[in-house]
Amino acid sequence: MMRRLLTYIASLGVVLLFAGCAVQNKQVDYAAFKASRPRSIVVLPPLNESPDVKATYAMLSQATVPLAESGYYVLPVALVEETFRQNGLNVPGDIHAVPVAKLREIFGADAALYVTVTEYGSKYQVISSVTRVAANARLVDLKTGDVLWSGTAVSATDSSSSGGGLIGMLINAAVTQVMNHTFDASYSVAGTASYQLLSAGQPAGILYGPRSPKYQSD
């Protein structure tokens, strides 16, 4: 009985390991993106569909770097947040509902990035603690309201252990879960997800911006 239990747990660990590596490929129509060729982007505070309240700012604080490295001017996050606050907008859902013409009038940007975090956090799974962040994004032209690009990214880490026998593995997973929650291991995973989602030069990713030496090479 114990041997069969250990075999099942080991098999489950393999399934979890490969589940975190799943990649979805899709065909992207870049016609509107190439016609618009935005130069500047305002990143809106992400919607949070996960149970963790830290998800919005964890993703927001790490979204500008991959966009800037891809060749775009990104409006400073603190300035954007303060501007919304001064106008009585503190909730991401209300901000996402602002008309695109109004966003362009206020910020003067060419495009806005709308992000939704669908998963954020660590979960205890038998002999492992899995930290997973998933998000999707839309880049919208602020002159026309057209969606120029959309994408999805999932990043996960599996803190499993194979030493110390069954009891040792269970204890290690439980301790790791507590540590991940206490020190917000999801933050670094959110950074990885941001790069996967918002970096140019990858399949189904955004195009290079005008500040990149690779501009219009894609």
Model pTM? 0.76
Mapped onto helix, strand or coil, the DSSP state of residue 215 is: coil
Whether residue 6 lies inside any domain: the answer is no
CA distance to 112, 127, 184, 199, per residue, from 131 (Å): 29, 13, 9, 22
Whether residue 11 lies inside any domain: the answer is no
User: What is the span of the domain harbouring residue 92?
Assistant: 25-124+131-154+186-198
Q: pLDDT by residue (tens digit) across 84-130?
A: 999 999 999 999 999 999 999 999 999 999 999 999 976 554 445 57
What is the C-alpha separation between 204 and 218, in angstroms, rounded? Answer: 11
- Decide if 123 contacts 16 (C-beta within 8 A): no
Domain tally, the chain:
1
What is the C-alpha separation between 173 and 25, in angstroms, rounded? Answer: 32
Tell me the CATH number at 96.
3.40.50.10610
Mapped onto helix, strand or coil, the DSSP state of residue 69 is: helix
Q: pLDDT by residue (tens digit) across 32-77?
A: 999 999 999 999 999 999 989 899 999 999 999 999 999 999 999 9
End-to-end CA distance of the chain: 57
